[in-house]
Structure 1
Amino acid sequence: MQFTSIILILHNLNNKHVLLFKEKSALRNYLSAQKETNKTIGFVPTMGALHEGHLSLIEFAQSACDLVVVSIFVNPTQFNNEDDLEKYPRTLDSDIQLIKSKFPKNVIVFAPSAHEVYGENISSSQFNFGPVASFMEGKYRNGHFDGVGTIVKKLFEMVKPHKAFFGEKDFQQLLIIKKLVELTKLPIEVIGCKINREKSGLARSSRNALLSNKDRLESAFIYQTLQQAKANFGTKSVKEIERDIKTAFERHPLLKLEYFEVANAHTLEPFSNKKEQYRAFIAAYANNVRLIDNIALN
């Protein structure tokens, strides 16, 4: 089978290589040929600026699949703030080098342009994700989950993976994507992977690259307060825990709390009784960098 020059084979001194696709037609042709040999396809969608958290997703995907596709695409429709979109780090060359150094076999990169993904109409479709989309990120980032649903659906239809892997740092997004697969009836298994953290406890995120070294260390306070909430969940009421967290952030010299929520781990509905499974969720700003994190409480 002939493939176009859209496939770029990149070499380094050790002769490692990674396949890079920029057009969906070439990607589909290549993956169709792989599926004909009964290979299972895993998919790790990213917005680039790769870090150890992404690498752990790719590694887990490799353990479960024969071939892993990593998409690198900063999706404009899931940003409700133009400044946030402009500031988001774009590091495609170094991302490819990182993948090449860590995964010399069975990983390919899909890095399309916005035009390749959306054509002339860069806009979101609307989805009925139900109550799970109305809390937290859905409340504070208008249109965010329609943007997420739009791009993930498009990427799923382009890649057609057997399994897709997402980090639990974006836990609400993980539930949204599972709902998306349910709504669209796409034959894809969505797998959540545990949060990967820096030594300080700060959840790894591409946005961390926007923090100064000092702010990065200070931002570990987010995880520390989540651990405090977990420790107190058995002895204090949820209202007391919420009050303690808000007070702690009010006293912090850098971090500004956007929200702290204790929510049902399956529906994201507010706390009702401790017989259910719950998680605590935080969104906070370190200067102008927005950070999110969460932890299982019981």
Structure 2
Amino acid sequence: METELVKGNKQEEIKRNTSKVYFFIIAIAALVVTNVYFYVKFKSSGEKVYALTVEKENLEVEIDRIEAELDKMKIENVQLSPPLVEKELDARNKIVDLRAKLARKELSQSDIDYAQSTITSLKSEVAYFTLDVNRLIQENKILAEKNDLLQKEVSESSNKISDLKNSNLNLASKVNVAAALKVSNIAVYGLQEKRNKKLEIEERAKRVDKLSVNFTIADNTLAKEGKKDVFVRIIDPQGNLIVNQDGNTFYAHGEKLQFTFKDSLQFTNHGEEYTLYWTGDNKFVKGAYTVLLYSDNAIMGRSTVVLK
């Protein structure tokens, strides 16, 4: 009896131990399943975050490329039309908005999808914008070439006009020179005025009262008829120009000259003879007096008288 009781107790203890083992096995299995669940869950979540991060970086690279394309247009230094300026501003505003959204710490897949869609649209817009700008650059180059050609033609025309003006000036100068009056003969005499007011030629300096300049103007078909001013320069025996106190001047051959006196005559272009008189402020002295006649900015002729 005692033996059977012991056997029953042992069997009962074995059953309890077996139950405990099963419990631990079931608990361990549940723990393993839970760990596997959380491992898979966290692994999936980590991969998703990593994937979103990679996509975000790729999108930022795309945005950088788009912005670089816009900046390239500025390097071209092209004056954009108002519509193109508006397109560029719109694109840059979208870039700023995209960068702000991608800079947020928590991004969902929908945020990434929206950004991707916006970038695709932006790429298309910038592509068309680039085409428009390149077309504008080509048009500007063509206009610049045409402008250079036009400037060259204008410059050549200006040079031709300048050459023509110079030619006309040279011709006019030659005509003026050719039209200047010239004397065919000229003679200077010393004159003494007698008591009866009669003038006689005198060679002795102390008796000379005035000089007489007699000349004939040669015919000139290029010279205009009419009143002519004649400027007279008289050089005394000491080689000094005799001038009055006013120091009057005129121009001849492009030079400014002083004159002794001037007179006017009527040019008829018929070989007329003329006589001019000059009375000095001082007594005449012995030696040679040289007389030069000028008209129309050129010398007409010269002659010398020697007083004894």
TM-score bracket relative to the smaller structure: under 0.3
- TM-score, reference length from structure 1: 0.18
Task: Give the structure with the larger helix fraction.
Answer: 2
- TM-score, reference length from structure 2: 0.18
